[in-house]
Chain A
């Protein structure tokens, strides 16, 4: 039933490790996104995928790489994790040109120690 589901919900890892976060949506939306929410609750867009093509890539370090096997999935892979990567990461989806807002997942709290 979950519209946008992401796993895992919590991720604790050491500096230098590589990790992935998975996201799936069953809404039939054509665009998926990754957002980073810092400790002050600011939502910053990282990536957007429309029909499996990257259409936006804000100034995110190239250690972060989105991978979309199909339009229902958008995974986030992070190499060489740093302390500053600790945050909550949200996946979201929308039907891009219809302006009906986003549906967000429940978030992945990443803690780098």
Chain B
């Protein structure tokens, strides 16, 4: 089955800095890669996703890149703000339509 590794487990940055979270996957059949943000006391919320036919996608301050050959994808957050503090999960999904989640990255943005 699919295996998704996510790093780092904790990321601490100063407000205004950039943050990068990296994930690798094992199943070359995976073709959909969503990212979720989980704030304290809430459920995970889809913030951006990318499909295997696209190398990069951007939405305001967040962007995701995908390297199919190397089987890794990354989340980039620019100009971080305190409200970006949360746990971020990457996931990889293929023909089963059931995503395999990474173990999460706790992002802390210091004012």
Task: Verify that A and B bind, or say they do not.
Answer: yes
- Identify the A interface with B (CB < 8 A): 4, 31, 40-43, 45, 48, 56, 90, 92, 94, 96-97, 99-107
Q: How far is the CA of A56 from the CA of B95 in the complex (A)?
A: 13
Query: Does B43 lie within 8 Å of A105, measured CB to CB?
Result: yes
Q: How far is the CA of A99 from the CA of B49 in the complex (A)?
A: 9
Query: Does A56 lie within 8 Å of B42, measured CB to CB?
Result: no
Q: How far is the CA of A102 from the CA of B49 in the complex (A)?
A: 11
Residues of B within 8 A of A48 (CB): 98
Query: Does B97 lie within 8 Å of A99, measured CB to CB?
Result: yes
Query: Does B89 lie within 8 Å of A101, measured CB to CB?
Result: no
Contact A101/B51 with A41-B103, A43-B89 known, Cβ cut-off 8 Å? no
Query: Does B51 lie within 8 Å of A106, measured CB to CB?
Result: no
What are the 5 tightest A-B residue pairs by CB atom distance, in nearest-first order?
Answer: A104-B43, A101-B46, A99-B32, A101-B34, A41-B104
Residues of B within 8 A of A43 (CB): 44, 89, 101, 104
Q: How far is the CA of A49 from the CA of B36 in the complex (A)?
A: 21
* B83 to A: closest C-beta gap in Å: 18
Starting from the known contacts A43-B104, A106-B41, 13 additional A-B residue pairs (CB-CB under 8 Å) come to A42-B103, A43-B89, A43-B101, A90-B44, A92-B43, A96-B97, A100-B49, A101-B36, A102-B44, A106-B42, A106-B43, A107-B42, A107-B43
Contact A40/B51 with A99-B32, A101-B34, A106-B42 known, Cβ cut-off 8 Å? no
Q: How far is the CA of A73 from the CA of B54 in the complex (A)?
A: 35
Residues of A within 8 A of B89 (CB): 43
Residues of B within 8 A of A105 (CB): 43
**Nearest opposing residue in chain B for A107, CB measure:** B43
Chain B 17-47 interface mask (CB, 8 Å, partner A; 1/0): 0000000000000011010101001111110
**Most chain-A Cβ atoms within 10 A of its Cβ — which of B31, B41, B97, B104?**
B97
* B26 to A: closest C-beta gap in Å: 17
**Nearest opposing residue in chain B for A48, CB measure:** B98
